[in-house]
Structure 1
Amino acid sequence: VMWPKHPRSRMSMSPAKMIIYGSVLCTGGFSLAYFIIQKTYSRSLYYQLALEQLQIHPGAQEALGPPVSVHHLKLTGKDNFVDIADAKLKIPVSGSKSEGHLHVHSTRSGPFQRWHLDEVFLELKDGQQIPVFNLSGENGDEVKKA
């Protein structure tokens, strides 16, 4: 059976459709990458340890007001940086009274070593800073050993 040839092949696509489909695929790819990076940060030990310190710090809890919510990191810029031995994050948080950022600095001695918090402080939108954890023990807090 011979089928009549269509003026356009079934595989050809107009440039406008190619641009639309390409844009959808790129947007989907970027969204997936963003989601994966956010999940990677939120599952990391330095992130979890910092949030644990925020949860047990009465001054920070009072300043934010219950319930405290943690928001997605801003992935662009220099505020969030992680390499083999050093991690610095600026985690957006909010509560019923205020909002701000939890600043986290964490280090480890080598690639497969455990992360340890060095400093965590809450910076509220009005500029007030609340020390949540300091490795030097200035505020008397210590990280729970797991």
Structure 2
Amino acid sequence: MSMSPAKMIIYGSVLFTGSISLSYFIIQKTYSRGLYYKLALEQLQNHPEAQEALGPPVNIHHLKLIGKDNFVDIADAKLKIPVSGSKSEGHLHVHSTRSGPFHRWHLNEVFLELKDGQQISVFNLSGENGDDVKKE
């Protein structure tokens, strides 16, 4: 039994759309399970000024994967994580590095940029704000 060209196009389109959606979901999950992501959220949760600025409860939203704001390769990760709370919303900017493909990720910088433009330094490896994290 042969399928008409119109049905083939419809089924192909559905399959293609489903594949793209699944790929997007898998990439989202991969980013959110990365140590660079988890370390940054841990810093946000433990930073009273950032928590106060956002207001409880703090919600973490899906990354926008299209564009240059979110980038991960073997040794470098840069993310712009959308966050919101009862008082405000903004983005958690994360920069993390590691020395090789099988080494542990280490935060370099994390800052919260609120929608009004205010920036709150959540973590800086240089220790300028006293929020340095031990490297393991």
Deviation, 1:15, is 2.1
Residue type of the partner of 2:130? G
1:144 to partner: Cα distance: 5.4
Q: CA separation in 1, counterparts of 2:123 and 2:42? A: 10
Instruction: State the alpha-carbon separation in 2 of the partners of residues 95 and 84 from structure 1.
Output: 32
State the TM-score, normalizing by the size of structure 2.
Answer: 0.96
Contact 2:106 2:135 (C-alpha < 8 Å) held by counterparts: no
Aligned equivalent of 1:22, options 1, 9, 12: 12
Share of identical aligned residues, percent?
Answer: 88
Residue aligning to 1:40: 30
Work out which of the two has the higher radius of gyration on C-alpha atoms and give 1 or 2.
Answer: 1
- What is the letter of the counterpart of residue 86 of structure 1? D
1:142 Cα offset (Å): 2.1
- Which whole-Å CA distance do the structure 2 matches of 1:81 and 1:56 have between them? 25
TM value normalised by structure 1: 0.89
What is the correspondence of 1:31-70 to structure 2 with a 5 Å cutoff? 31-70=21-60
Contact 2:126 2:132 in 1 (8 A): no
In structure 1, give the amino acid aligned to 2:128: E
Which residue of structure 1 aligns with residue 85 of structure 2? 95
SS at match of 2:116: coil
1:4 corresponds to which residue? none
* Structure 1 residue matching 2:83: 3-state secondary structure: strand
Distance (Å, rounded) in 2 between the aligned partners of 1:91 and 1:144: 23
Deviations 1:36-81 (CA, angstroms, capped at 9, x unpaired): 1011000000000000000000011011111111111111111011
- Secondary structure of the structure 1 residue equivalent to 2:110: strand
1:86 is aligned to 2:82? no
Q: Distance in 2 between matches of 1:63 and 1:19?
A: 51
Matched residue SS, 1:126: coil
> Could you say what the CA RMSD is over the residues aligned between the two structures, in angstroms?
1.2
| Counterpart residue identity of residue 36, structure 1 | I
Residue by residue over 1:84-138, the C-alpha shift from the partner in whole angstroms, topping out at 9 and shown as x without a partner, is 1111000011111111100000011111111000000000111110100000111
1:138 and 2:128 matched? yes
